[in-house]
Amino acid sequence: MNITIRRAGPADEAVCARLVYDAFKDVSERHGFTSGFATVEVARRVVRVFLGLDAMWSGAAEVDGRVVGSIFYDEGDPIHGVALVSVDPGTQRRGIGRRLMDAALARATNAAGVRLIQEAFNVHALGLYTSLGFEVKAPLARIVGHPGPVPPGVAVRTISREDVDECDRLYVRVQGWSRRVDLRDALGDFTGYAALRDGRIVACTYVLYAGVVAWAVAETDDDMMALLAGVGAAVKGPVGVNAPTGTAFFRRCLGLGFRVEKPLTLMARGGWRESRGCYLPSGIY
């Protein structure tokens, strides 16, 4: 099979969206789970955002002139992230996913590391990523629930680009590397939130849609829960996060009635440091 990898652009939006929808629907339903992309239009909204980001490298795999795979690779910050890898279900197990990953990882020469979130039931993807040098760093669970009210002494408000520097300093303290570019770009499309104690930002995040939180970082578990409570109040509904399962924070969420939707795995290649605070990964890392 002659596989060609090229850069994807706006003209590929529709075909890439269909690939994302079909690929994730196929693997999720084969393992008894519901895909995170409920419709092609949901997938298309995500693809449109990714194609519009300067920090995101978008690739397409072609066979005989037909697009059969796509990848979105976040290279804006020191830690790069594999956002989405999708291969047409009818052409899987033929090396297309590996070629897409090879093309993306060739861009990681100056990265401090590369990370990704993998659906834990997708054993073929686990094998591929492991063979490419990724290691499992943490089991995660996608959970959804109501965090309760914002506690006394904490204020939760929306953030703007004027808050990016302070939020990034918090991220660096907890995670070890900057994620400034991702937060700056996200605030152009999504709403960001911060929890403050005595006027100081102690937790921050941004919300993708309908209460689905991207990454979130906080000094303490209490600060994180206060932030999620503020997000829940703002969206007037449940909040969805990716939580490391081996933590007291995860058990605390379950105690509040959060529902587990599916298992995930955080994988990394290169630079890694354990969190010095509370951290909830996004769908990228």
> Domain residues of the chain, as ranges?
3-111, 143-264+271-280
Cα–Cα distance, 216 to 201 (Å, whole number): 13
3-111 has which CATH code? 3.40.630.30
- What pLDDT does residue 52 have? 95
Q: What is the pTM of this model?
A: 0.95
- What pLDDT does residue 1 have? 80
- What pLDDT does residue 209 have? 86
pLDDT block averages, 10 residues each, the chain of length 285 = 95 98 96 94 96 97 96 98 96 95 97 98 96 98 97 97 98 98 96 98 95 96 98 96 98 98 98 97 97
- What pLDDT does residue 228 have? 98
- What pLDDT does residue 31 have? 95
Contact yes or no for 51/13 (Cβ under 8 A)? yes
- What pLDDT does residue 150 have? 96
CATH topology of domain 143-264+271-280: Aminopeptidase (3.40.630)
Cα–Cα distance, 67 to 78 (Å, whole number): 30
